Amino acid sequence: MNHPFIDIRHLTAYRGGRRVLDDFSFRQERGAHTALLGPNGSGKTTLMKLVSGELYGLDRPGSSVRVFGRERWDVHELRRRLGILSHDLQREYLPGVSGRDVVLSGAFASIDLWRHHEVREADRSRAGELMEELGVTSLADRRFSQMSTGEQRRCLLARALFANPDALLFDEPTSGLDLRAAFAYLWTLGDIMRQGRTVLLVTHHVHEIPPEIKRVVLLKEGRIMADGPREDVLTAPLLSDLFETPLQLAERDGWHQVFPAR
């Protein structure tokens, strides 16, 4: 069955006593790469965590969160279908783990390798291939804490790809990266989309939405303000409204960038 990747209906979600999403509905078909753009605090990370099963919304009649057509998932099973790249993950990763073990931990959808994890030869060769593909082979024996932010992020991407997921969630993919690392990472993201994996990218930066993403959703205070083709949604008036500041917008080769306006 070809269920949508994400199908959220009439969901209300609270965090720390505050209502973050209110009667929120969102659907993403497989293959329909999407960027969700919104200011800080608009609920982007909350939405990601609802999809990945780290958070739950209110259980009310008529409200549901379905991922690949299913409402209830064993989190480990879901993690094999869904790769997650978040800052929480990067922050929580154990400092002493080697690059190779970061990637291998993707075999178990866990953070780090534990004694009960039996690493098979096939897992080692898969990890080797992915490290090669992402250009991190030289980091195999480097400790996570001794890598740059960009190197850490590429290792975590190799980890997320380990189980050959159908879809990936990216939360502010290039934050903290310099231009070279940022664009290398975004080109890799383009490759991932061309491999047929569905991407949902959440961000507050217009410039980190790769040209391959054709649908953009604007999220403001937990509500969808606009949703549609990139060229209809990324406009100066809508973005000025979204960020509550006058903005002008430029486009070059499918990439967008904003500037202040008076």
Ligand X SMILES: Nc1ncnc2c1ncn2[C@@H]1O[C@H](COP(=O)(O)OP(=O)(O)O)[C@@H](O)[C@H]1O
Residues forming the site for ligand X (CB under 6 A): 15-16, 18, 20, 38, 40-46
Residue 46 contacts Mg ion per CB under 5 A: no
- Which of the choices Mg ion, ligand X, none does residue 40 contact, using the CB cut-off of 5 to 8 A by kind? ligand X
Query: Closest CB to ligand X belongs to which residue?
Result: 16
Sign of CA dihedral 206, 212, 218, 223: negative
Beta strand pairing call for 223-229 and 215-220: antiparallel
In the complex with Mg ion, which residue's Cβ is closer, 7 or 171?
171
45 binds Mg ion (CB under 5 A): yes
Least distance (Å) from ligand X to the CB of residue 198?
20
User: Residue 201 CB, nearest distance to ligand X (Å)?
Assistant: 12
Half-sphere exposure of 96 (CA within 13 A, CB side): 1
Q: How far is the CB of 171 from ligand X (least distance, A)?
A: 7
Partner whose footprint covers residue 16, from ligand X, Mg ion, none (CB < 5 to 8 Å by kind) = ligand X
User: Which residue is it, tokens 């054709």?
Assistant: 214
Binding site partner of 38, from ligand X, Mg ion, none, Cβ cut-off 5-8 A by kind: ligand X
Closer of 42 and 105 to ligand X (Cβ): 42
C-alpha–C-alpha distance, residues 147 and 151, integer Å = 6
Nearest distance, CB of residue 15 and Mg ion, angstroms: 11
- Contacted by 161, from Mg ion, ligand X, none: CB < 5 to 8 Å by type: none
End-to-end CA distance of the chain: 51
Residue 209: closest CA among 246, 256, 160, 149: 256
Kindly state the DSSP code that residue 56 receives in the 8-state scheme.
-
Residue of 143, 159, 142 lying closest to 105 (CA atoms): 159
Q: What is the binding site for Mg ion (CB under 5 A)? A: 44-45
